[in-house]
Chain A
Amino acid sequence: MMLPALLVFVVFHYAALAGNVIAWKDYRPYLGIAGSDWVGWENFELMVTGDPAFWNAVRNTLVLTLVQTVLVFPAPILLALLLNSMLSQRIKRVVQSVLYLPHFLSWVVVVAIFQQVLGGGGLINTWLRQQGMETFDIIGNPDLFIGLLTSQVMWKDTGWATILFLAALTSIDPSLYEASQVDGAGRLRQLWHVTLPGLRGIIILLLILRLGDSLSVGFEQIILQQRAVGLDASEVLDTYVFNHGIAGNAWGEATAVGLVKGVIGTLLVVGANKVAHLFGEAGVYKS
């Protein structure tokens, strides 16, 4: 019974993993993987010698990851706390239903919505123009691209990401709140001494997972908007692999970049998990 799924894993995961050998080859599609020449570590050299396009991609990736960890990661925690403090359960459920929805939209739809609302001919700018006021230029502006990407991610996924935090909040033992209240704690002190400690496990778990993904920032989202702002502002490691490999035929080099990226991501998750264990946290998995 396990056979069909197993076959998919073996072929499209494990056999595909072996395809990474072309990182050490001068891969030519007409020669095939086996027929292409070995070239040693040549394909990895561009990462060391400082190909400007590659380093630009690294820089953009790191800046985006940093901005998104600082801004996007805490957003659902705050939102969950707000939802949790609502007295009316019915209104809370309505708000949740609305805010979960954008998670299920494709990136094409999300980017289109942002264009319609914030674009040069979009809702807000058209209104400003009709009022004789100055318009602003967010869509297609390279300087604001990181801000645009970040706000899109927040709009799409903040609501959905509250699910895990809300569940963790409901699993906090009510007697802890009662006891702290008896000890004279107010709302803020309860937040600090009961609520946040109750969320610590899930926050650490999600941070570790995020760390593993820190070199993968919104591939579909960026590739859809890349043309408008140019490569300088928008190229990240994943789009670099796509543009140089599949679109640009530098197969070996692009594979090498993807491979190094994958290895670093795995090491980050394993390492962060070790650190979490050292601090007595459960982390993602136990060995």
Chain B
Amino acid sequence: MSRHHRRLENGQIAPGPGERVITGIVLLACVLSVLIPFLGIVSTSVSSSEHINQAGGFVLWPGGLNLDAYRSVLAGGVVTRALMVSIGVTTVGTLLSLTASAMMAYGLSRPGSFAHRPVLLLVLFSLLFTPGMIPSYLTVRTLGLLNTYWALILPGMVSAFNIIVLRAFFMNIPTELYESARIDGASDWSIFARIVVPLSRPVLAVIGLFYAVGYWNAFFGALIYLSDQSMWPLTLVMRTYVLDNAQLSAGDVGVAGDALPPQPALQMAMLLIAIAPILFVYPFLQKHFTSGMLTGAVKG
């Protein structure tokens, strides 16, 4: 009798109707728990003050559509400045992180390269023990990096895990390619730039995304290293005006005198601005997530 069961792709017996209904309900609940807050953020950020005040704050469905909240927040005041900081740190940081990581991973992927064993051990050992919050802080201070944007980039610039993922990927590039390039007289640099990088675009994209999301979302480094509030990135400004409910005034956003959109609309506009870049790159990179994660897990 069991021979007539439907099978899943992997050969397992497929669930019966009862189980399928329960599975469907659980998964639908999970999906809605993500989508409903997103809907609310978008709706509140584009709603009129009457609509928001009537509903008492966060609204799921927009009313009196307008983009005033975005206009105010992006008018050049404190939020705009924080956004520029976040964009700058994320761009510079990701470029440096990805370049340095890929270069090291390339060195570590060539068995004959100079001091390849000790460097690999050094990288791996760093996973086992972290210096701790205060020693890291003192290092940044000793180097005179407090209140500079370098403090947000340099301490976490290279991740051992990401280097191991990249190295595993580079090691899969056929040796013949390297050898023939060598015979043609190519240097390490040109092999790296002309063979390794073009062949590794997917993994570089995923690792780049991981670094970029890390910089974009970082908040703790800025909290301890930047006492100058005018240097704060978007995350810290959102903490002040969204989580701690500080009132964003017309002076803060840099629009003269006029009545601002209601605070909930401004707050949700800030959240959406913080989420938007992630939503934007997400579809392009999603198909590479699994391969990126797996290379690290299996070969690391």
| A–B pairs, 13, beta carbons within 8 Å | A8-B154, A11-B139, A16-B139, A19-B132, A84-B8, A100-B286, A101-B279, A105-B217, A108-B243, A117-B58, A121-B57, A123-B60, A155-B34
Contact of B23 among A82, A97, A184 (CB under 8 A): A82
B56 interfacial contact with A, CB 8 Å = yes
By the criterion CB–CB under 8 Å, are A17 and B217 in contact?
no
- Chain A residues packing against B (C-beta within 8 Å): 1-2, 4-6, 8-20, 22, 33, 79, 82-87, 89, 95, 97-102, 104-109, 111-113, 115-117, 121-123, 126, 129-130, 155, 158-159, 163-164, 166-167, 169-170, 172, 174-178, 181, 184, 186-187, 190, 194-195, 202, 205, 219-220, 223-225, 227, 238, 241-242, 245-246, 251, 254-255, 258-259, 261-262, 266, 269-270
By the criterion CB–CB under 8 Å, are B15 and A187 in contact?
yes
B175 interfacial contact with A, CB 8 Å = no
Contact of A87 among B8, B60, B242 (CB under 8 A): B8
- Residues of A with C-beta under 8 A to B16: 187
Bound-state Cα–Cα, A123 to B235, Å:
23
By the criterion CB–CB under 8 Å, are A112 and B104 in contact?
no
By the criterion CB–CB under 8 Å, are B57 and A255 in contact?
no
From residue 269 to 295 of chain B, which have CB atoms closer than 8 A to chain A? 271, 274-275, 278-279, 282, 286, 289-290, 293-294
Bound-state Cα–Cα, A205 to B297, Å:
10
A84-B8, A112-B242, A174-B10 known; A99 vs B119 contact (CB < 8 Å): no
Most A-side CB within 10 Å, residue of B34, B108, B137, B143? B34
Taken residue by residue from 96 to 124, chain B's Cβ proximity to chain A (1 for < 8 Å, 0 otherwise) reads as 00011101101110000100000100110
- Residues of A with C-beta under 8 A to B235: 106, 108
From residue 44 to 82 of chain B, which have CB atoms closer than 8 A to chain A? 44, 55-58, 60
Contact of A126 among B11, B30, B56, B103 (CB under 8 A): B56
- Residues of A with C-beta under 8 A to B103: 1-2, 4-5
